[in-house]
Structures are given as C-alpha cells and as structure tokens.
Structure 1
Amino acid sequence: MKSQIAAPRYSFTVRLSSTRRGARLARQLVLSQLDMWGFPYGSPIAEAAAAVAAELSINAITHGRTRGRDFGLNLTRTTRTLRIAVSDTRPDRLPPEPGTLDVPPPDADGGRGLLLVDSLAVRRGCDVRDAIVKTIWAELALTQE
C-alpha cells in the first residue's frame, strides 16, 4: 500500500485586544511570522497578507467588538495557500458575501476594506462557530520567490 505524505503545514494563533493597537499588532505579527516562514518583509505575499490581516482586524474591532472581549488571529500555511482568519464575538453581524460588495462613492469615509481583501484573496468566507464566535477568513495563493 502506498502511503501519502501530508503537505507541510504551519500555523500561528494569537489573541489580541479589540483596540486599534491590537489591530496594528496583528499586522506586525503577520509580517514577522511570514518572515520566519521564508516570506521576507517587503515581499508581495507578505505585503498582501499584512493588508488582509489589517483589514480583517479593523473590521473585528469596528463591527465585531464586544466590550471586554479580545479578537483572535490565526495564520495557516500549506504549500499552496495562506489562510488569514480573524475571529470576533459578534456572530450576529455577518459581512457581505464575496462578490456582492458595491464600490462606495469617492467621498465615502469607508466601505473599501473587504473590496481590498477580495482583490488580494483567492477566496474569502465566514464561519459561525456558535452563538458567541464568528471567524472571517481569506486565503492567499502562495508563490515562493
């Protein structure tokens, strides 16, 4: 019988305060972790992942915050993809489905974050684990330079 060898898999998980400082730290931790995984600072995948993590984290503290609760950041790397997942404590507030977003007017102050995520990611989704936690995730295609 031929055995199958699983693709190498790496993961990183951290909980952060639901503040702007926590969202900034999420971005920096993504850059640091990717550098350790062989995607150096300034590389296209590191910059894209940092942008996606920043947007998902800002959304978690803006739309998914519950007083006194943190948000979670998880990175999972396989040979082909990097999944960036951010969990918050507002499963009652779901994001729009991918492909359903309208471009906001030029003078609008917001509404572009998930458009940016959708432009960088190959897939995006939302999982509601229970009555307390939801996770928004995005997957980026990996190409080693």
Structure 2
Amino acid sequence: MSYAMSASLQAAVYAALQGDAPLGALVGDAIYDALPGGTVPPLYVALGPEKVTEAGDGSGPGALHEFVVSVVTSDSGFHAAKEAAGAVSDTLHDGALTLGRGRLVGLWFRKARATRESGGLRRIDLTFRARLEDTDPA
C-alpha cells in the first residue's frame, strides 16, 4: 500500500474544481480545502474526509482512495446545491487530473447524499473513488 499519493490527489482535485468555469459560475471562488474563519458564503464546496485502502498489484504499489466533496448552502432549498453538485460531478467525472506523484488509473462517482443540517443548512456529500498507482515508490 502507498498513502504517499494522498496529498497529490487532494491537490489535483482541488485544482480541478478551482479551474472549472461552470462550477466557478455557481460558487465563485468558494471552494475550500479548509473552511475559512468567519462567515462563509451562502453556497460553497469543501473537500471532505478520505478513506484509503491498499490496491497494489504485480506492477507496484497502489491505493484506492474514496473521498468526499461536499456542497453546502444556507438557501432554503436544494436547487442551487444540486446544480453545484452536478458541476462538481461533471468536473471530476472524466478523471483528467494531473498528479504531482503517482498515476491516476481511474476516477468514479460512487454516491451522493443530500441532507438538511442544523441551522437551516442543506448539504450534499458526493463520494468518489480513485485508483492510483505509485510511480515513484521510495
């Protein structure tokens, strides 16, 4: 197993979301790795938890990364959040991510969950699965 590519995957996902024009039209620059202090915008995207399991094979070390991207809104309905969640899904669907370490074998949408949170927030958690091969093992 190799966890060494996790930071590289996170940076690539963040860069892809930041660079996506349709998503930017919906949320502006409100795409976060960590929420800023103070007031957050009424609609934003945040990188969430990750679970990694071993997925090496005969060609070398690898890992299966399951990660969450959340869309959160203070709007009274889910419509704006669903539009932004769709844009996140479209951005990550083709898996054209450039990693600083490792190689992306595949990136797949797994599931989504829309919930009402305390304080009137609406939240959509999108779960993706990425298979990575470590091309630079130590």
The alignment's TM-score, normalised by the length of structure 1, stands at 0.30
Larger relative contact order (Cα-Cα within 8 Å, sequence gap ≥ 6): 2
For normalisation by structure 2, the TM-score amounts to: 0.31
